[in-house]
């Protein structure tokens, strides 16, 4: 059975300049009706117990206390969990009050993923974030006060006009908080964002490829020096604190996606929900799935995905697990790409695993695309 669930809250008080997720300004939106529909959609899922739940957005913490309480109750009722499960809420510094933290704690949430992005107030402003460095410290303190010991923060490097020193400074400040988990993403300019438009006009002074690579290298070095283990291209954790939910994606396992614009993978079928709120809500009111697209994955696609997702993990793809799952060896199915990428020094086969080399981490897409055979 599918035992992971992603729940999407598409509301924000402020839209970040780089964000291309499905989201709307919260003002005048039918938030309560949306939460009811979400409840309805979760109610349609196969009954069973969940191993990981992740509430993301948008900004889940943009919800007010009453709405949050409704949401956590609804999740608890619809998606029963076993003890020891990972249950994460995404949160924005500054929006996460002590009161909201208590509601989450009471609702069973045991992990927070905080969108810090940078410890430089200038940069934060530039990317459209509302919070400041001080808000971050306050939020982390409050989280501790509310009893959360599993807190992760997200950072973004490669911001406009960011230097290597800026990036290192942000990472060091983040590491000083001594948290068990960090994600460090590189800024990707996506269509339909403020940054995309600025870039098209030539008004986005992004760091050069060299300097972005240097930042990535520096991030990895700092993390390692602080005893954090890189377990995926952008993720670092103290042993035992890896995000189980994100590993679901990289292990090519199934998961539900609930909410407007959410994506899921259930019974071999990848689907996407309608993004616009109205389009999403209408079918649910008639007890129908709000699917915009749904497509069965073929065996070939599954194997390809197993590789390009699994290779994101530092341990890589387990040859024996692959053989168990597909009754074929990945070294045979993908003999061409494996050889080529090995020759290019981007891939290695170690014991039972196929994984990226250090260089391969920087040029992951070169490797991933070679596993798309069509």
Partner 1 sequence: MNNNDRLERQERIRNFSIIAHIDHGKSTLADRILEKTKALTAREMKSQLLDSMDLERERGITIKLNAVQLNYTAKDGKEYIFHLIDTPGHVDFTYEVSRSLAACEGAILVVDAAQGIEAQTLANVYLALDNDLEILPVINKIDLPAAEPERVRKEVEDVIGLDASEAVLASAKAGIGIEDILEQVVEKVPAPTGDPNAPLKALIFDSIYDAYRGVIAYIRVVDGTVKVGDKVKMMATGKEFEVTEIGVFTPKTTQRDELTVGDVGYLAAAIKTVGDTQVGDTITSAKNGATEALAGYRKLNPMVYCGLYPIDSSRYNDLREALEKLELNDSALQYEPETSQALGFGFRCGFLGLLHMEIIQERIEREFKIDLITTAPSVIYQVTMTDGEELRIDNPSDMPDPQKIAHVEEPYVKASIIVPNDYVGAVMELAQGKRGIFIDMQYLDTNRVSVVYEMPLSEIVYDFFDQLKSSTKGYASFDYELIGYKQSKLVKMDILLNTETVDALSFIVHRDFAYERGKIIVEKLKELIPRQQFEVPIQAAIGNKIVARSTIKAMRKNVLAKCYGGDISRKRKLLEKQKEGKKRMKQVGSVEVPQEAFMAVLKMDDQQK
Q: Which residues contact 94 (CB under 8 A, 6 or more apart)?
A: 130, 131, 132, 135, 138, 139
Cα 163–chain centre separation = 25
| Comparison of 134 and 369: residue with beta carbon closer to partner 1 | 369
| Comparison of 98 and 204: residue with beta carbon closer to partner 1 | 204
Identify the residue whose tokens are 């086969």. Answer: 349
| Comparison of 210 and 286: residue with beta carbon closer to partner 1 | 210
* Shortest Å distance, C-beta 217 to partner 1: 9
What stretches of 177-298 show up as alpha helix (H) in DSSP? 194-200, 209-225, 244-250, 277-285
* Shortest Å distance, C-beta 183 to partner 1: 7
* Structural contact between residues 229 and 236, judged by C-beta atoms closer than 8 angstroms: yes
Tokens standing for residue 127: 């990317």
* Shortest Å distance, C-beta 213 to partner 1: 4
| Comparison of 103 and 346: residue with beta carbon closer to partner 1 | 346
| Comparison of 90 and 142: residue with beta carbon closer to partner 1 | 90
Residues that bind partner 1 (CB under 8 A): 6, 8, 21, 56, 154, 183-186, 188, 209-210, 212-213, 216, 233-234, 249, 255, 257, 262-265, 270, 272, 295, 301, 304-305, 308-309, 344, 361-366, 368-370, 372
* Shortest Å distance, C-beta 132 to partner 1: 21
| Comparison of 136 and 233: residue with beta carbon closer to partner 1 | 233
Backbone angles phi, psi at 180, to 5 degrees: -80, -10
* Structural contact between residues 50 and 74, judged by C-beta atoms closer than 8 angstroms: no
| Comparison of 58 and 103: residue with beta carbon closer to partner 1 | 58
* Shortest Å distance, C-beta 257 to partner 1: 6
3-class state of residue 29 by DSSP: coil
- Angle, helices 98-106 vs 133-145, to 10°: value is 40
* Shortest Å distance, C-beta 98 to partner 1: 26
* Shortest Å distance, C-beta 360 to partner 1: 9
């Amino acid at each position: 059975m599918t035992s992971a669930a992603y729940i999407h809250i598409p509301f924000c008080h402020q839209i970040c300049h780089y964000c291309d997720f499905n989201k709307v300004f919260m003002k005048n939106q039918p938030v309560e009706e949306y939460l009811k529909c979400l409840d309805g959609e979760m109610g349609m899922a196969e009954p069973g117990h969940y191993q990981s739940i992740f509430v993301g957005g948008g900004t889940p913490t943009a919800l007010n206390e009453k709405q949050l309480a409704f949401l956590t109750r609804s999740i608890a009722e619809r998606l029963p969990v076993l003890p020891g499960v990972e249950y994460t809420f995404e949160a924005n510094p500054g929006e996460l009050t002590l009161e909201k933290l208590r509601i989450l704690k009471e609702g069973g949430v045991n992990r927070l993923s905080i969108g810090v992005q940078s410890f430089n107030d200038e940069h934060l402003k530039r990317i459209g974030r509302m919070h400041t460095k001080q808000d971050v410290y306050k939020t982390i303190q409050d989280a501790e006060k509310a009893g959360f010991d599993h807190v992760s923060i997200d950072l973004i490097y490669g911001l406009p006009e960011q230097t290597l020193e800026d990036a290192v400074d942000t990472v060091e400040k983040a590491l000083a908080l001594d948290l068990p988990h960090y994600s460090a993403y590189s800024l990707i300019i996506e269509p339909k964002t403020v940054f995309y438009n600025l870039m098209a006009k030539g008004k986005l002074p992004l760091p050069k490829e060299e300097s972005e690579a240097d930042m990535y290298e520096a991030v990895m070095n700092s993390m390692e020096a602080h005893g954090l283990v890189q377990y995926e291209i952008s993720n670092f954790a103290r042993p035992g604190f890896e995000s189980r939910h994100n590993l679901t994606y990289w292990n090519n396992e199934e998961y539900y996606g609930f909410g407007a614009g959410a994506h899921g993978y259930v019974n071999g079928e990848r689907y996407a929900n309608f993004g616009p709120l109205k389009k999403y809500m209408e079918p649910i009111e008639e007890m129908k799935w709000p699917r915009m697209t749904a497509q069965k994955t073929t065996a070939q696609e599954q194997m390809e995905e197993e590789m390009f997702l699994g290779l994101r993990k530092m341990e890589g793809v387990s040859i024996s697990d692959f053989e168990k799952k597909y009754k074929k060896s990945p070294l045979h199915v993908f003999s061409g790409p494996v050889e080529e990428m090995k020759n290019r020094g981007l891939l290695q086969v170690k014991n039972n695993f196929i994984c990226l080399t250090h260089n391969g981490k920087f040029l992951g897409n070169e490797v991933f695309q070679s596993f798309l055979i069509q």
